[in-house]
Amino acid sequence: MLKYFVLVFTILFVSPSFAVEPDEILDDPVLETRARDISVNVRCVVCQNEPIDTSNAGVARDLRLLIRERLVAGDSNDQVYEFLVARYGDYVLFKPPWRPSTYLLWLAPFLILGGGIIGMVYTLSRKPQKPRDGLSADEQATLDNLIGSNSEKDAS
C-alpha cells in the first residue's frame, strides 16, 4: 500500500511542469504557449539531455527567460531558434538542422547500424573450419620431444 502512495505522490508532486517558475510565465497565453513549444525543443546546456522546459538548472531558467523576452520583443519562433543557435551552436537544439557540419551527427546511427549488419553477415556467412583429425608428423615429434624432456626433468 505504501508503494502506491509513494507512486501517486511522485506523479502528482514531482512533475516536470514545475520547472517553469510562476514568475517566468507570461500574461499573454498565446506567447506563453509559443514559449513552451520552443522550450521543449531546446536542450539544457548543463543537463544535456533534458529540455529547458523541465530543467531546474539556472542556465535553463535564464534560457526560458531569454526566450520569453525575445517573444515579447516580437521575434518569430524561427528567429528565437536562430538567436539561440547563434549564441550556443546547433548543440542547443534537440533536432539540429541538416547542414554539412551536422551530417555526421545525423548519419552516424545509420552508419553504425550498417557496419554491424555487414559484420554479422560476414561472420555468419564464413564457412566453419573443419577440425583436423590429428597432428602432423612434425607436430607429433615436437610433442613427444616436449613430453619426453618434461618426464626426464621430473625423474631427476
Domain count, the chain: 2
Check residue 125 and give left, alpha or beta (phi > 0: left; psi -120 to 50: alpha).
alpha
Which domain-ending residue is among 70, 94, 118?
94
Instruction: Report pTM.
Output: 0.59
Same domain, 20 and 90: yes
Same domain, 107 and 77: no
Its domain, for residue 70, covers 15-94
C-alpha cell, 88: 550556443
CA 80 to chain centre: 25
Please state, in angstroms and rounded to a whole number, the distance separating the CA atoms of residues 143 and 154: 17
Neighbours of 77 (CB within 10 A): 15
Phi, psi values for residue 135, rounded to 5° = -95, 150
Q: Could you read off the pLDDT of 85-142 as tens digits, one per residue?
A: 999 888 889 888 888 888 888 899 999 999 999 999 999 998 777 767 778 889 889 9
